[in-house]
Amino acid sequence: MKPELTIGQQAEQWASDHLQQQGLTLLTTNYYCRRGEIDLIMQEQKILVFVEVRYRKSNTFGSALESVDRKKQAKLIFTAEHYLQQQTSSFSGYRFDVVAISHEKRKPIITWVRDAFQVN
């Protein structure tokens, strides 16, 4: 019997499925290093895509997109740089996307923001 997914795991699965339907290829999930985690690492043609998945049941304390603040972005950038140092594959570039998920009548509402932020 398969264990129940947490809401975070379910949100990551919805995001992964959605992005794959849009033509991206899943490379890895939940990549960790000492300062952070990247939920999904995907590929779109020759571009490496680091994806942060955010789920919010409601917008009472801010939207899922708003929760990816500068501090969170810095952690994602550090973790992405760590990932890139471990790779031998050649990509023509990379970007950071955010997938925000909320619910409406038991159906997930998915908002995909391509190139949500850049390394400054």
Q: In this predicted model, what pLDDT tens digit does every residue of 29-55 receive, in sequence order?
A: 999 999 899 999 999 999 999 999 998
Mean pLDDT, range 75-86, rounded to an integer: 94
pTM as predicted: 0.90
Q: What's the pLDDT at 51?
A: 98
Mean of per-residue pLDDT scores for the chain:
88
**pLDDT, tens digit, for every residue of 11-25?**
999 999 999 999 999
Distance CA 98, CA 40 (A): 10
Closest CA to 44 of 111, 112, 110: 112
Q: Where do the domains of the chain lie? A: 7-117
What is the spatial distance between Cα 46 and Cα 44, in angstroms, rounded to a whole number? 6
Lowest mean pLDDT among 38-52, 55-69, 82-96: 55-69
> Among candidates 113, 23, 44, 39, which has minimal Cα distance to 75?
39
CATH class label, 7-117: alpha beta
The 3-state secondary structure of the chain reads CCCCCCHHHHHHHHHHHHHHHCCCEEEEEEEEECCEEEEEEEEECCEEEEEEEEECCCCCCCCCCCCCCHHHHHHHHHHHHHHHHHCCCCCCEEEEEEEEEEEECCEEEEEEEEEEECCC
For the cut 80, the answer to whether the pLDDT of residue 119 exceeds it is yes
